[in-house]
Chains A and B, each alone.
Chain A
């Protein structure tokens, strides 16, 4: 990914100063987004730098790759982190969010079906538990309840989501689990406990 020629034929001293300015701006924008509980992708960073006329070319007509700038920042800073997914790589600051939270935001960028499926799988695998459908209505998922039901119906007709199962409790609570990581009897027992049993034992 090459930067457009915004500041052509900059001298060597200018380049050093500009590189520092660009690095500072990129660091700041990643942290700002993270403080607002958001990721920022490489493409978004590049677009922002272009808008602010902060990219430059050397005298020979070549420019520093944004990927290189970001890689250096991730390596040299204490907090800036990179996450790679299906789309443009994303960045966040660990001062403001954990990798776990950033991963959810990354999955969100990959679409609701993937978001739901991977979240259900991760809960089943790492925590050995089904998840209430309601969790997807909360931040950072922010999906409408009816939409989640629609997505689940779509997942049932789409390959790659065969392991995602929906169950309801005696109190009509809807729970989701992955058969790849959780045995059905265990999942049903856990869902009933989480929705009903623990309320009897508050």
Chain B
């Protein structure tokens, strides 16, 4: 083991076909890629040849964390899970899912930076890890159970200190739209069925070790306090959503929704969030209530508390208690989740009798969380629900199903917004029951293909939010102009990048955002007002590149890209500046590896580059600009007849987008004609072997 802090030092390897497990040295094998997605991509590159399918035993599934996981660094609870993505259409390619919760820290405390799983068990198994002890256990008694039951059964064996990441029936039944989940509500989508294909029901981890911090204790504590001082509310929104005595600004759309008089109404005792001034760093957890952000006062009334990941003060998962649902639907009165996981049930319905934020909507959320988080069904960032609404109201479902199957659903209940409809639909997706259950579980791309629907047509409907390759947009051009577009082109699933949107939605007035943008991306033109987009500017390409590098860095260090980066802050005295170097400061002090911001960004760039190389190899073409970086038609259309770049229009100009791509590829050192990285760029990042392998297959652009 090297003298580095931060890392646990070992990567655990498990071959389920042979039942063998062994370890590798993290530093020797993977330091150049940090951890998380970096380790994931490296293993996929080295060990999974092109043409491998997601459910082949040769496919790997890599649960990897970074050197900051399990330390005291804020927001360090992310586990990156990398594999071949079963919902990536038309061919599965590499991608990663990211779960919060307690798994990342426990894995480190057990002594591992990653678990690489290969092969396929002969029968259902679960993996038990207690420090150095690694055992493969028979899982036949828990196979067929939901995530809750499996987690409880394994926890009874391993004890309350263990964390369990389990799949539900959806994963077992090889439903591509399935998750793995730990700590009640923290899931990573798209992965459940890959675990299921290996007959792996769950991984239980208990660790009794600790993480060594290389730097001095007092320096580390000082840095943590500094980082905490820069934190805003959920998604690093640095401005409250209503006027507060301490605030210069407010923005009704931010997720910093605490205020005097806002109460956790279902807590054991009265909890008033108070005004939550930035200096009150012990009250960061009160700043945001995500359930209330989506459902308003009704959610405040039923809030027990916030919940979240190891060492994260934001607590983005809201725990709700709704006693009425126990009697009405026969489900637990308490549930928790955030974002699309929280909205899972509600999003299937077009409307409710008592409005979009009424009690029925809340009940639909509770029913949806109960079912989806137990069956392990994935929503693909809400695309499942948007597809369902489109398919039903356009008559496709009725047309495609036989009369008997169509009538087996209570469509009148559905149209009225009755949450009991979810009991009919979600289990059938998890069990692949009937044509509808099966097709919805495939993911959008394969669903369209099976039913003979056009992906191009899907991409014309702006309200569907469909992007490409079976997946939706994730903060794209409609809210972030060219920068959002470029980011959304890069991945083989939805981009999951928040670096740009967390800045753009932080609540600061545009002139201040522009001032900060000029400091980070060298020109104020990097950011535009919402719905007031301007033609492409080089700084937008820089911002897009920076956003992607920070995403990869976060995913590889185990920092949360939903909450970071922290380049703006709520602190007036700092001119609302955050700190663009916080990641490297944490990394340096934790590991002892003396990399500054620029050097660490280069590691992020290497990781992004390897993802691109994997995609090129997987697709068997270097023509990325033509075949991969495709843009849905809705990006270029707008309900108004106004031309692009007029106020109120959110569509982009076709020629301008081509300019944007040119600039973006240039910034990354990629060939403009093909969108593929050049030999020189691979070489610059010490990736000659990657370059050689691609060149041998004619997958590198000409020099």
Please list the residues of chain A having a beta carbon within 8 angstroms of any beta carbon in chain B. 34, 37, 96-101, 104, 126-129, 131-132, 134-135, 138-141, 171-172, 183, 185-190, 193-194, 197-202
Verify B648–A201 contact, CB threshold 8 A.
no
Is B267's beta carbon under 8 Å from chain A?
no
Known contacts being A193-B531, A202-B294, is A138 close to B242, with CB within 8 Å? yes
| Cβ 8 A contact of A186, one of B294, B475, B510, B531 | B531
Per-residue CB contact flags for chain B residues 531-543 toward chain A (1 = under 8 Å, else 0) read 1100000000000
Q: CB of B645 within 8 A of chain A?
A: no
Q: Which residue of A lies closest to B386 (CB)?
A: A200
Tell me the bound Cα distance from A97 to B245 in angstroms.
4
Per a CB cutoff under 8 Å, which of B343, B478, B646 touches A197? Answer: B478
Closest 3 CB pairs of A and B: A185-B648, A186-B648, A186-B647
CA distance A172 to B358 in the complex (A): 13
6 A–B contacts from the bound complex (CB under 8 Å): A126-B509, A127-B251, A135-B252, A183-B648, A185-B648, A193-B479
- Tell me if B577 is interfacial: C-beta within 8 Å of chain A: no
Residue of A nearest to B235 (CB): A202
Query: Are A202's CB and B339's CB within 8 A?
Result: yes
Contacts of A189 in B (CB 8 A): 531, 640, 648-650
Chain A residues with CB under 8 Å of B318's CB are none
16 extra interchain contacts, Cβ-Cβ under 8 A, other than A98-B245, A185-B648, A186-B531?
A127-B510, A128-B510, A128-B530, A138-B243, A139-B242, A139-B243, A139-B260, A141-B243, A186-B647, A187-B648, A189-B648, A190-B648, A194-B252, A200-B386, A201-B473, A202-B340
- Is the CB–CB distance between B531 and A190 below 8 Å? yes
Residues of A within 8 A of B648 (CB): 183, 185-190
A193: contacting residue among B243, B251, B476, B530, CB under 8 A: B530
| B437 part of interface (Cβ distance < 8 Å) | no
The reply to whether the CB of B226 lies closer than 8 angstroms to some CB of chain A is no
Contacts of B479 in A (CB 8 A): 193, 197-198, 201
Chain B interfacial positions (CB closer than 8 Å to A): 242-249, 251-253, 259-261, 294, 339-340, 343, 355-356, 382, 386, 463, 465, 473-476, 478-479, 509-510, 529-532, 572, 640, 642, 646-650
The smallest C-beta distance from A196 to any residue of chain B, in angstroms, reads 9
Residues of B within 8 A of A187 (CB): 648
**Cβ of A201 and Cβ of B465 under 8 Å apart?**
yes
Known: A139-B260, A186-B532. A201 touches B244 (CB 8 A): no
CB <8 Å contact, A194 and B253 = yes
CB atoms of A101 and B244 under 8 A apart:
yes
- Inter-chain CA distance A98–B239, complex, in Å, is 13
Q: Say whether A200 contacts B649, CB under 8 Å.
A: no
Q: How many A-B residue pairs have CB under 8 A?
A: 99
Once the chains are docked, how many angstroms separate the CA of A97 from the CA of B529?
A: 28
Contacts of A183 in B (CB 8 A): 647-648
**A200 close to B382 (CB less than 8 A):** yes
Closest chain-B Cβ to A116's Cβ sits at a distance in Å of 14
Residue numbers in A under 8 Å from B356 (CB-CB)? 171
- Which residue from chain A places its CB closest to the CB of B465 in the assembled complex? A200
Cβ-defined contact, B294 with A199, below 8 A: yes
- Give B251 Cβ to nearest chain A Cβ, in Å: 7
- Tell me how far the C-beta of B268 lies from the nearest C-beta in chain A, rounded to whole angstroms: 25
Which B residues are in CB contact (< 8 Å) with A96? 245
Q: Which residues of chain B come closer than 8 Å to A202, judged between CB atoms?
A: 294, 339-340, 343, 382
Q: Closest CB of chain B to A98's CB: distance in Å?
A: 5
- Residues from chain A with Cβ under 8 Å of B640 in the complex: 185, 189
Q: A residues within 8 A CB of B244?
A: 101
A131 to B475, CA, bound (A): 22
Residues on the B chain within 8 Å of A186, using CB? 531-532, 647-648
The verdict on A100 contacting B649 (CB below 8 Å), with A139-B242, A200-B465, A202-B340 known, is no
- A100 and B532 contact, CB distance less than 8 A: no
A170, B531: Cα distance in complex, Å: 18
| A64 smallest CB distance to B (angstroms) | 31
Give the complex CA separation of A106 and B425 in angstroms: 55
Question: When chains A and B are docked, how far (Å) is the Cα of A131 from the Cα of B532?
Answer: 17
In the bound assembly, the distance between CA atoms of A29 and B476 in angstroms comes to 51
Q: Are A98's CB and B247's CB within 8 A?
A: yes
Q: Kindly provide the distance from the CB of A146 to the nearest chain B CB, expressed in whole angstroms.
A: 16
If A127-B510, A185-B640, A201-B473 touch, does A98 touch B252 (CB 8 Å cutoff)?
A: no
The verdict on A100 contacting B247 (CB below 8 Å), with A185-B640, A202-B340 known, is yes
With A and B bound together, what is the CA distance between A123 and B396 in angstroms? 44
- Contact: B245 with A101, CB < 8 Å? yes
A185 and chain B: residue at smallest CB distance = B648
Chain B residues within an 8 Å CB radius of A97:
245-246
CB distance from B350 to the nearest CB of A (A): 11
Q: How far is the CB of B427 from chain A (nearest CB, A)?
A: 25
Assuming the A-B contacts A189-B648, A201-B478, are A98 and B531 also in contact, with contact meaning beta carbons closer than 8 angstroms in the complex? no
In the complex, the chain A residue whose C-beta lies closest to that of B246 is A98
Q: A119 vs B533: C-alpha distance in the bound complex, in angstroms?
A: 25
Shortest A201–chain B CB gap in Å is 6
Q: Which of A100, A140, A197 contacts B248 (CB 8 A)?
A: A100
Once A138-B259, A171-B356 are accepted as A-B contacts, the answer to whether A127 and B509 lie under 8 Å apart by CB is yes
Q: List, in ascending order, chain B residues with CB within 8 A of A34's CB.
A: 245
Q: Closest residue of chain B to A101, judged by CB?
A: B245
Cβ–Cβ < 8 Å partners of B649 in chain A: 185, 189
